[in-house]
Amino acid sequence: MSYGSIRNADNSRDRRSDTSLLLKRAKNNIKGWYFYSFSSEPFVVSAVSTYIPLLLQQFARVNGVTVEDHSVKCTSDHDKCVLGLFNNRIFVDSSSFALYTFSISVFIQTIVVITVSGLVDVWKTIKFKSRILIGFGILGATSIVLISQLSVNQYYSLALLYIISNTCYGVVNVVGNSLLPVFVSDLIQYGFETHESDTESLTTVISGKGASIGYIAALIVQVLSMCLVKQSKSQDNIQIAVLFVGIWWMCLQSPMSWLLQDVRSTFLPSNDEIPSRIDPQLPTSFKPGMLKYGWLSLFESLKHTRLLKDMVIFLTGWFIVSDSLTTINSAAILFARTELKMSTLSLILISILTMINAITGAFIIPRYISRKFHLSPQHTLIYIICWSSMIPFYGIMGFLFKNVGLKHPIEMFIMAIWYGISLGGVAAVSRSLFSLIIPKGKESTFFSLFNVTDKGSSIIGPLLIGFITDKTHEIRYSFYLLFGLLAISLPIFNSMKLNRAKDSASELNRVEVGTLQL
């Protein structure tokens, strides 16, 4: 009998047991990542896209005055109203008040996101990232709950609480997205059995599922919110819907606390692979200097822009597309309320229709349409942008035709279908495309750059639309700007080379070894 053989067999069984446990944790992390989307997505899809714009516009209108005479209070009989700010030093259109608030919130969100993402990249552990997700989620959800308790004359408080909640969502969004490439890598490393034979396909599929799950959550929230609004006394109580969004975010994020964990911590002390798995540079305590790592890492990476040509191309195009799609939604909601006089329930129905089609777009486009026509993520994104550009183009037609071009409420429902497909497809494809071209180990920092480009662009769009609306008191003119932006993004994305981008990410990792010291 060979005792060495028995020991080798035992070691082999131990290793298989360890690998099985590692794979189980890797799968749990994917489940936890889905809960991140399921809990937080209703905030941006329901609250930011529907309820908050309506609340800001409503608070501004109730406290506003007429355009012609600032001494006359605005009533339901007046079509155009302005709100006096800072002791009536300046007056802004009631719709512009919402757009300006969005711009300010995104500016502050950008600063906080870059700072926190650097801290997350320094700490590296999944457990720490989960605490960031949950901590900022609690703060953001609490702010939303407080919004639901405001009286109609507290428009400054409304703006402040929205800024806080949107900033928290930005952090949650960046940290959550940065975990996707890490989790996919773990699945492949520990032998996840799948028909998806490569990282690109698996990333796209999981990203699409995550986007679909988020939109399903938003759909559920919208349907239940509509029931709550309908049963309210005035059948126009937007704040009760906001309250439900806050409670949803607060409660549904809790499974992340036990699902998200560090996969490799299960290695036994005797395992020969420990030295190569454990990073001796992992911090053991917080240091204030860690807060500047995100900025240092970002600036260091920007020094090597010659190696990141395609990432710059992607982010430039994404800046324009994200700005356009986000602003289309805000402009359409405000347009439907002010120009078409649609009720709150009708606007919620539009949002529900958008969510149903966003779910379809997020699932069908990357999983079936891209495969059927053998489209890369890059070319899929280009075709989605072409599809999206038809929305503002149709709005422009309203200047040329009397009964076509968003002149009737029914047209808003048709556009909701079109926009939903665009929204879902872009959410799934853009995230998976970007995850393929970022340097390993810098996921949070570069996804913060993705978020800065995504949300930061929203500083510009709403600001410009606000100026246009203030000058013309006609929000339809914004469709010219939105169509032009989408058209400009097409040649930008077309010039990107995906394989070159992947090589550049690997080269950047090599160049930056040892350059950053904490």
Concatenating the DSSP letter of every residue in 153-174 gives T-HHHHHHHHHHHHHHHHHHHH
- Do 362 and 235 reside in the same domain of the chain? no
In a domain, 52, yes or no: yes
- Do 249 and 357 reside in the same domain of the chain? no
What is the per-residue pLDDT for 497? 87
3-state secondary structure of 93: strand
In a domain, 65, yes or no: yes
How many other CB atoms are found less than 10 A from the CB of residue 28? 17
- Do 125 and 216 reside in the same domain of the chain? yes
What is the per-residue pLDDT for 284? 56
* Gap between the Cα atoms of 512 and 301, Å rounded: 8
**Up-side HSE of residue 422: CA atoms within 13 Å toward CB?**
24
- Do 478 and 369 reside in the same domain of the chain? yes
- Kindly report the CA angle at 110 between 100 and 114, in degrees rounded to 5? 175
Contact 360, 436 (CB under 8 A): no
In a domain, 11, yes or no: no
Largest interatomic CA distance in the chain = 102
In a domain, 12, yes or no: no
- State the burial class of residue 185 (Cβ atoms within 10 Å of its Cβ: 0-12, 13-18, 19+): middle
What is the per-residue pLDDT for 268? 36
State how many domains the chain has. Answer: 2
- Do 127 and 243 reside in the same domain of the chain? yes
In a domain, 274, yes or no: no
What is the per-residue pLDDT for 14? 55
Q: Which residue has the tokens 């009989």?
A: 77
Angle between helices 443-472 and 409-435 (to 10 degrees): 150
- Do 91 and 184 reside in the same domain of the chain? yes
Q: How many residues does the chain have?
A: 518
How many other CB atoms are found less than 10 A from the CB of residue 476? 18
Q: Residue 260 carries which side chain, given as an amino acid letter?
A: L
* Gap between the Cα atoms of 321 and 257, Å rounded: 34
- Select from 3, 18, 5 the least CA-distant residue to 273: 18
Choose the final residue of a domain: 206, 234, 264: 264
- Do 369 and 224 reside in the same domain of the chain? no
End-to-end CA distance of the chain: 55
What is the per-residue pLDDT for 385? 95
Mean pLDDT by 10 residues, the chain (518 residues): 52 63 86 93 85 90 88 80 90 89 88 81 81 94 95 94 94 86 82 60 80 86 87 77 94 92 56 40 61 72 67 89 85 86 86 85 84 86 94 93 90 93 87 81 67 69 87 87 94 90 75 50
DSSP conformational letter for 251: H
What is the per-residue pLDDT for 270? 36
Domain that holds residue 360: 307-517
Contact 241, 46 (CB under 8 A): yes
Choose the final residue of a domain: 235, 264, 293: 264
In a domain, 298, yes or no: no
What is the per-residue pLDDT for 282? 57
In a domain, 447, yes or no: yes
- Do 233 and 367 reside in the same domain of the chain? no
Q: pTM value?
A: 0.76
How many other CB atoms are found less than 10 A from the CB of residue 422? 27
- 333: which 2 tokens? 């909601």
Choose the final residue of a domain: 230, 264, 298: 264
DSSP sequence for 26-68? HHHHHHHHHHHHHHHHHIIIIIIIIIHHHHHHHHHHHT-EESS
In the sheet that holds 90-93, the strands lie side by side as: 65-66, 81-85, 90-93
- State the burial class of residue 358 (Cβ atoms within 10 Å of its Cβ: 0-12, 13-18, 19+): buried
Contact 84, 263 (CB under 8 A): no
CATH number, position 374 = 1.20.1250.20
* Gap between the Cα atoms of 172 and 73, Å rounded: 41
In a domain, 419, yes or no: yes
- Do 340 and 425 reside in the same domain of the chain? yes
What is the per-residue pLDDT for 16? 61
What is the per-residue pLDDT for 280? 46
- Do 324 and 231 reside in the same domain of the chain? no
- Do 436 and 367 reside in the same domain of the chain? yes
The H-assigned helical ranges of 285-369 are 293-303, 309-338, 344-364
- Do 315 and 208 reside in the same domain of the chain? no
What is the per-residue pLDDT for 274? 35
**Up-side HSE of residue 124: CA atoms within 13 Å toward CB?**
16
